[in-house]
Amino acid sequence: DFVRFRPDHGPMTHSTLAKALLLGTTISLAACAPMSGNGGASSSSSSVSSQPYADMIQVSSPAPNAQVSKSQPFVVTGRATGPWYFEASFPVKLLDSNGNILAEAPAQAQGDWMTMNFVPFIATLNFTTTDTSGTLVLRNDNPSGEPVNDKSISIPVTFVP
């Protein structure tokens, strides 16, 4: 009893469809769970697997608690899978220690983003602050607007002159 033919994998049975729906529901519920700690972002490959959404986005720079110059553009680099992007970009925000937005800019894909594979990205933020610490937030671009589809990672940073 087949539901749909998938040219890349053959027919999908009701059993396969039920498993896919159950997995999707589990992933959706897990996405609603609160994040703890520093968001797990790291430039070391040994901790990449422990960061939230590591199968979707990996930040090369900055590392957690990195020192960020207040006098130079702040460049954020890494890689994300195609679904993290929409129209080749996703939003990046830099917040001060009170959660106020210091800067925001789109992270731009550096290759074909219409893939399930990782695609490099870069974002450049210019900001001024008297604060000494803040948080970098990288959010998936969610054109649906549905909160259940929102995903983000947060990386604490320290501001230096």
Q: pLDDT tens for residues 114-125?
A: 999 999 999 999
β pairing state of 118-125 and 89-96: unpaired
> Hey, which bits of the chain come out as E strands?
2-6, 10-13, 57-61, 66-69, 74-81, 89-96, 101-109, 118-125, 133-139, 152-160
Eight-class DSSP state of 113: -
93-138: pLDDT as tens digits: 999 999 999 999 999 999 999 999 999 999 999 999 999 999 999 9
pTM: 0.69
Rounded-to-integer distance, Cα 102 and Cα 98, Å: 10
Three-class SS of residue 85? coil
Residue 27, Cβ neighbours under 10 Å: how many? Answer: 9
Partners of 122 in beta bridges? 77, 108
Residue 45 in contact with residue 32, Cβ under 8 Å? no
pLDDT tens per residue, range 11-57: 444 444 444 433 343 333 333 333 333 333 333 333 444 578 999 99
Residue 50's pLDDT is what?
56
CA distance from start to end of the chain: 66
More confident residue, 153 or 17: 153
pLDDT at 52: 80
Spatial distance between the Cα atoms of 42 and 35, rounded to a whole number of angstroms:
15
* Cβ neighbours of residue 115 closer than 8 Å, sequence gap 6 or more: 81, 82
Which pairing describes strands 101-109 and 118-125: parallel, antiparallel, or unpaired? antiparallel
Mean pLDDT calculated for residue range 74-90? 97
pLDDT at 55: 93
Asked if 141 and 87 touch (Cβ cutoff 8 Å), the reply is yes
